[in-house]
Chains A and B, each alone.
Chain A
């Protein structure tokens, strides 16, 4: 009898809030960062094999797909770094009040986008 008892709905009905969104994004960006390191490997390899092979990478990085990957990579890393800083404070025992977690959560989300744009614009100026 007992084995036939249903499981009450969980993720299907539970509300999202800023902290849970940042938490799941932290995981997802972690996986993305890991996978996109392959891209960095290709970059380094293309450098090792000289200017001709580097042109291939350059062509890719200037294409729409390449830009998407690189900007996505920058965002994903920035998000991870900001969220990790939030976790450092938590590990030290600070910032657990609900209001504070909301504010720091918003800072992580907005900050990651703002810094991505800033970095993109800055790289355009510098290069």
Chain B
């Protein structure tokens, strides 16, 4: 259901203000969404003054600096710091992306950091992605092939392999799905761009023998056709992929088969 306003327990309050203590002249204000599950209070926005002269270039560096030097209580996911693992996906400056690949110099004015949109918040910048993972499981993202591939190689032509380009690079960071208004309003039923791109990745794989069943499975008013080509997904993807096009390709296959 479309619910524009946030529920009562999600309304954001003004939080603490951490004044700069270094005396630096190159200061930027960083506003970060905070929610502590142990207090029962509403989420708040804490503001940090950060000395930018001694801060590396990416938003993740900025968060690490705050956690190490100003406020160790702040929680966020991160791992590889090179745009490969997808852990540090969050909403920066009104757009989803990976904190480790987003330069803070691209952001004008105060730097606003929120968790990925419309998720259950577990703590601070950490959202609950378990329902997305369940949906991912539902498309059975593995090769289905009756050949005994343990004995021979499973060959694929160069052309067929090229069809997977722009799909296999997906790191499942959920930037796209959580940027999608359709997924906000119908996330329980609509599969969302990330999962549909993955579904298409297996549908289009020449080695997979389950194409018909896979197509039949996603051909659903809610699972697939809630995509209205709003293009937030493609705009958000930090890997430069095009989930909207993948979804359109599934729709086209269904319309022409």
Contacts and interface: CB of A to CB of B under 8 A. Distances in A.
Interface of A: 1-2, 4-15, 17, 19-20, 23, 87, 90-93, 96-98, 101
A32 B232 CA distance: 24
Contacts of A7: 6-7, 10, 118-121
B94 A15 contact: yes
Interface string B3-37: 01011011010000000000000000000010101
Contacts of B94: 13-15
Interface stretch (B150-158, B199-207, B247-255): B247-255
Nearest to B127: A8
Nearest to A17: B235
Interface of B: 4, 6-7, 9-10, 12, 33, 35, 37, 40, 42-43, 91, 93-95, 112, 114-122, 127-128, 179, 181, 184, 228-232, 234-235, 242, 244-245, 248-249, 251-252, 255
A12 B252 contact: no
A87 B93 CA distance: 29
Contacts of B117: 8-11, 13-14
Contact of B120 (A5, A12, A92): A5
A4 B127 contact: no
Contacts of A91: 248, 251-252, 255
Report, nearest first, the 6 A-B pairs whose CB atoms are least far apart: A15-B94, A6-B10, A19-B231, A10-B117, A96-B245, A10-B118
Contacts of A11: 4, 117, 181, 184
Contacts of A17: 231-232, 235
